[in-house]
Structure 1
């Protein structure tokens, strides 16, 4: 595998791990253009395909983890909106919260 290709693949992995989808996509597009320009020889193709499969699984796992975190935060916010507290006189008070759910795309 070409050293430049290896560096670009490592950069894609770093972007995925750091949670930066914009950077990951930009690096994937740059790698694609580089492969179109340089070509891929038959000897290194299986290794590159294996690395790309690893990156795909990493990205899919990251997306699933992010979705689970979003669901957990949504549940926490929903529960926080229904908390009931008691004042010094023992009176129960409901304190609604108007926190907006964060969204990440």
Structure 2
């Protein structure tokens, strides 16, 4: 594998790990253009495919973790909206919150 290809693959991995999807996508597009320009030799192909498979698994794991976090936050907000408190006379009051549901993370 060429040093430049390895550096680009490492850059994609760092962008995924840091959670910067925009940067990761830009680096993936740059790598695709580089692969179109540079012909891959057959010896490097298995190593590159293995690295790409690793990056795909990393991205999928990141997406699953992000979805779990979104679900947890949604549950927390739903529970916070239905908090029940008691006043000094012992009457139960429901105190809804006006927190907006998150749309993006």
How many residues are matched? Answer: 105
- Deviation larger for 81-90 or 35-44: 81-90
* CA distance in structure 1 between the aligned counterparts of 2:4 and 2:101, rounded to whole angstroms: 42
2:95 and 2:37 mapped to 1: Cα distance?
Answer: 61
Q: C-alpha distance in 2, partners of 1:39/1:85?
A: 68
3-state secondary structure, aligned to 2:85: strand
- Distance in 2 of aligned mates of 1:15 and 1:98: 35
For structure 1, list consecutive stretches of 5 or more residues without a partner in the other structure: none
Q: Distance in 1 between matches of 2:104 and 2:11?
A: 22
Q: Secondary structure at the match of 1:63?
A: helix
What do residues 13-62 of structure 1 show as CA deviations (whole Å, max 9, x unaligned)? 11111111111100000000011111111110000000000000110111
Whole-angstrom distance in 2 between the partners of 1:29 and 1:44: 20
- TM-score after normalising by structure 2: 0.93
The answer to whether the aligner puts 1:48 opposite 2:44 as a matched pair is: no
CA distance in 2, matches of 1:104, 1:5: 32
Tell me the distance in 2 between the aligned counterparts of 1:50 and 1:104. 32
RMSD over aligned Cα, in angstroms? 1.2
- Segments of structure 2 that go 5 or more residues without pairing to the other structure are none
